[in-house]
Structure 1
Amino acid sequence: MPVLEQITIAPHLTFDALAAGAPGAPLVLLLHGFAESMNCWRAQVAALGDMGYRAIAPSQRGYSPGARPDSREFSHYLIDRLMDDAMAIVAESGYGDARFHLAGHDWGGSIAWGLADRHRERLASLTILSRPHPNAFNRALEMVDGDQAQRSRHHKAFLEPDAADVVLADDAKWLRDRLAANGVPVDAIEQHLAVLGNKEAMEAALAWYRARGAIRGPLGPIRVPTLYIWGDADDTVGRVAAEGTVDFIAAPYRFEVLPGVGHFAADQAPARVCELMLEHLAAHPV
């Protein structure tokens, strides 16, 4: 079973994390996205630990109370800092310069794509849920006759100064409705709200968007064995962006479509996600 640990990488940067498996076993680092928390990976952390891996899923910068710099200073939340956090968590967990497996969902997927581009020699495998390769996403966003811009319109709304109040109003109705509409179970929604359902955490989570703005930087081709999982009921990522990701992978690639599954696949279809991840990791050992 996953246990709650704390990982300190610097003064004032202590991350809460779900962990399972023996220290020193092949590492799998799992990065969550927005409107959720480390708890989205609970089933996967447990399954990976049971199969002989060391799985660590942190609540990332701003989500962990002990790693929450001033959200008014957006520079604290630049994606480079989020990537540096991930690599520092790996090092602090005892893996130094060792290779490891990386998984990311949504914003965690954006970070994971960036790490695969920057640190490909460190990664044995890459698993991405929902978030297309940034180049495929940008291409879909720019299509005049496409629907990706409409699907992603909330990104601009998150840049508004009152976004946290809107998302948390009426007992976080927007957040609850969003998660429920994507098939996230009630108990999982409560776990995410226990992390994210307060003004300080929400402002810090939204600072990720504000630090980046509306633009996603392009990356080079990914040269890490990649599993990309997309639910065809994902309301934020359309088929064009998802299917177009293959154009930017220069390594063994597996694209899995989950019929009827929405944006939060790890919560909605945990058994299938576990199965796919374990197959992928076994095929590309450290």
Structure 2
Amino acid sequence: MVDVNGIRLHIAEQGTGPLVVLLHGFPESWHSWHRQFGPLADAGFRVVAPDQRGYGRSDHPDAVDAYTILHLVGDVVGLIRALGEEQAYVVGHDWGAPVAWHTALLRPDMVRAVAGLSVPPPFRGAQPPLAAMDEMYGGRFYWNYFERPGVADAEFAQDTRTTLRKFFHWGSGDAPHAGEGRQPLVDADRGWLVDMEDPEVLPAWFTEDDLDALTESFSRGFTGPLNWYRNIDRNWELTAAWHGARVTRPALYIYGDRDVVPAFPGTPELIGQLPGLMPNLWRKPLKLAGCGHWTQQERPDEVNTALIEFLEAHS
């Protein structure tokens, strides 16, 4: 347990050497990186993965506005310092990717290099994102569903293990309709889980032990993690000063060709433009064939190889 930014974060740690901070996404925990610890540590790095605020054994602030992007970046900055370091490599997946990208954007002095999995670098749009999605999909985009206080919280907490099993199957490259450009739309009256398939057998990369660990980490419910989504428009307001800014630190972007996130409106075009928009993008975005949303879990060997090459190239 580490005290940072006014809260306590639970971390997992392995290895010695330059610090690499691994930031998980939704609905996950530090455990989503368990296949990265050994290889990165063996390559000569000190690997630290926190349960981010609102998750697992870390603190779960009650206030919705305690989960803004400035709080989340502040947690990373505080963690780096609490670990006795001045700089770190910062790597994020899903929601952890925007936290990693924004840490490099807001505090480039503390970031040796940055990598994002699934979610590409942030380029602030002209209007608040929740309002844009509400207008585009009539309030059915999952961000808008999550925005409703207590609704998704209650649905997901009815049977935590089943919720997580469905989510991991739905978002994986193994799902029947993965990679078909589908958008995550929700009928708010019926909820999201009712239309998600419940697999009889888990994929080889996500075992029953993995599901046990993840289920235990959500014993305090889903409200903290969902509060991240409830700050999407607030984050847009708070980052006005960085409108048009670019991540200038060395950067790596990895995504799966069957991941739903890179198919979000405007995202395929953004990914195609990244080499021209990112002055220090390492090589070109790495697209993993057959990989869904859970990038580092579905393709650990390919992700580990790419991360180690990237980190060593910028050591």
* TM-score over 0.5 (shorter chain): yes
Amino acid paired to 1:253:
W
Corresponding position of 1:3: none
**Distance in structure 1 (CA, Å) of the matches to 2:96 and 2:214:** 15
- The aligned counterpart of 1:260 is 290
2:4 aligned residue? 9
Relative distance call for 1:126 and 1:185 in structure 2 (3 A) is same
**Are the aligned partners of 1:230 and 1:242 in contact in 2 as well (CA < 8 Å)?**
no
Q: How far apart are residue 237 of structure 1 and its match?
A: 2.1
Size of the alignment, in residue pairs? 265
Q: TM-score, normalised to structure 2's length?
A: 0.76
What is the identity, as a one-letter code, of the residue corresponding to 1:16?
A: H
Partner residue of 1:244? Answer: 273
Q: Is the aligned partner of 1:231 residue 2:256?
A: yes
Q: List alignment gaps of at least 5 residues for structure 2.
A: 175-204
Aligned-partner SS, 2:116: strand
Change in 2 beyond 3 A, CA 1:213/1:136: closer
Q: Which has the larger radius of gyration?
A: 2
2:165 counterpart (163, 171, 176): 176
Does residue 19 of structure 2 align to residue 36 of structure 1?
Answer: no
RMSD: 2.6
Give runs of aligned pairs for residues 16-35 of structure 1, distance below 5 A.
16-22=10-16, 25-35=17-27
TM-superposed deviation, 1:219: 5.4
Deviations 1:72-117 (A, max 9, x none): x11211110111011111111111xx22211011111111111111
Q: 4+ runs of 1 displaced by more than 6 Å?
A: 136-139
For the pair 1:62 / 2:54, whether they are aligned, the reply is yes
- 1:133-172 equivalences in 2 (<5 Å): 133-135=121-123, 153-161=141-149, 162-172=151-161
User: What SS does the corresponding residue of 1:271 show, helix, strand or coil?
Assistant: helix
The SS at the match of 1:126 is strand
Structure 2 distance, partners of 1:122, 1:41, is 22
Q: Give the whole-Å Cα distance in 2 for the aligned partners of 1:202 and 1:84.
A: 22
Any idea what the Cα deviations from partners look like across 1:215-255, whole Å, max 9, x if unmatched?
Answer: 74545111111110010000122233433333431214331
- Are 1:83 and 2:73 matched, yes or no? yes
2:93 to 79, 82, 105: 105
Q: Deviations along 1:49-81, whole A, 9 cap, x unmatched? A: 1111101000010114342111xx112111101
2:216 corresponds, among 194, 208, 213, to 194
The normalised TM-score by structure 1 is 0.84
Amino acid at match of 2:42: D
Q: What is the percentage of aligned positions where both structures have the same residue? A: 27
Between Structure 1 and Structure 2, the one with more strand by share is 1
Question: Going by fraction, where is helix more abundant, 1 or 2?
Answer: 1
Gaps of 5+ in 1: 1-5
Aligned pair partner of 2:43 in 47, 51, 72: 51
Paired amino acid for 1:9: V
CA drift of 1:201 comes to 3.9
